[in-house]
Chain A
Amino acid sequence: MSDHASQPGPEAPEGRTARREWPLWEVFIRGQHGMSHRHVGSLHAPDAERAMRAARDVYTRRHEGVSIWVVPSVQITASAPSEKGPMFDPADSKTYRHPTFFDIPDDVGAM
């Protein structure tokens, strides 16, 4: 078990550059109400198990959640803010795409 970064130790002799950081994880919590996990923030941890524990301690102290997901941040592919226009503007003024004109049958359950 020597392949993961060690815990940041006391003052490294050569200054901050010698310090190895734990990888970053994104945390998703499913709250008391609703079915979806929502992004709540991120944290550093050496592995998934420890990330889960840390997420519990950092993000659910006030009974915010009933379920936690942790995902390595490097696994997330994000859209580029500079391409915001072409990505999202075409959806403007197309209200007919909103399903607000339909009654949802009870059988469908939670949506």
Chain B
Amino acid sequence: MSATDPRPPASQPAAELFEFLCRMGDNTLVLGHRLSEWCGTAPALEEDIATANTALDLIGQTQMWLGLAAETEGAGRSADDLAMTRDAWDFRNLLLVEQPNGDFGRTLMRSFLFDAWHRLMLERLTLSGDPRVAAIAAKAVKEVAYHADRSAELVVALGDGTEESHGRMQAALDRLWPYAGEMLADDAIDRAMAEAGIAPLPSALADPWEESVRTTLTRATLTVPEGAFAHRGGKDGARHSEHLGHMLTTMQWLQRAYPGARW
């Protein structure tokens, strides 16, 4: 912000902060739910448990992000209200994480692309000017560092595996790559957060993300698709894919049918 900028200092960007916190919390909520869909049906018992663990980590992080979002909003809503009673257009998650699981290879590739970004984002958020954001990031980054190591290792094992597994991983990469660009593109909310010293600009994560992802994909003998086209519309809620609505129908059913039900 320049000295002649007429706007007041962004010391209390509550509306933008709420949006940002919903983005963080909706990413972890939607990916957490997607991963939980494998519970009981993953290709091996060990992978089933590991995937469910990751899902639980992400849901735990959701409670923190959406809890702080609800507090910031100050409208009497709770984290549960935000998770279970908003409709698709109010969700602020990236399009990448709402994409359906597909086969296990596609699920892993989706996690790999997201985890690499998530880790970089959380590392920088530990230095956030908002101590509440920094505290959540400090707790989450340890879990996410493990997620990122695990998904990268499996992408290498399956990419540089059999002809069958290589083919599936390449198909997954070709399909999901156009959804990765949204993670690294800035918009007005991102700029407000950066100006307030709360979060880094997503574009500042682009170089380290590309470098780490390309290094792993090379080890995995996979070919990064050419072209810079990126789907947009998830994190601003403007254009979610049809998959999100279907997922929410399942995820929110109980609270929609029996509002306030507890166990």
Contact = CB atoms under 8 A, between A and B. Distances in A.
B46 A9 contact: no
B44 interface: yes
Contacts of B50: 53-54, 57-58
B153 A49 contact: yes
Contact of A6 (B49, B53, B165): B165
A45 B161 contact: no
B81 interface: no
Nearest to B164: A6
Contacts of B43: 7-9
Contact of A57 (B46, B104, B157, B164): B46
A42 B45 CA distance: 12
A6 B167 CA distance: 13
A22 interface: yes
Nearest to B56: A61
B2 interface: no
A49 B156 CA distance: 13
A1 B53 contact: no
A1 B160 contact: yes
A71 interface: no
A46 interface: yes
Interface in A1-57: 1-2, 6-9, 22, 43-46, 49-50, 53-54, 57
Interface in B160-177: 160-162, 164-165
Interface of A: 1-2, 6-9, 22, 43-46, 49-50, 53-54, 57-58, 61
Interface of A is mostly: loop
Q: How large is the interface on B (under 10, 10 to 19, 20 to 34, 35 or more residues)?
A: 10 to 19
Contacts of B165: 6-7
A57 B158 CA distance: 20
Nearest to A6: B162
A44 B45 contact: yes
A62 to B, nearest CB: 11
A66 to B, nearest CB: 15
Contact of A44 (B44, B157, B164): B44
B150 interface: yes
Contacts of A6: 161-162, 164-165
Sorted nearest first, the 4 A-B pairs with minimum C-beta distance are A54-B46, A57-B50, A6-B162, A57-B53
B46 A58 contact: yes
A9 B161 CA distance: 14
B161 A2 contact: yes
Interface in B130-171: 150, 153, 157-158, 160-162, 164-165
A43 B44 CA distance: 10
Nearest to B162: A6
Nearest to A59: B49
Nearest to B52: A57
Interface string B48-61: 01100100000000
Contact of A53 (B153, B158, B160, B164): B153
A61 B160 CA distance: 29
Nearest to A1: B160
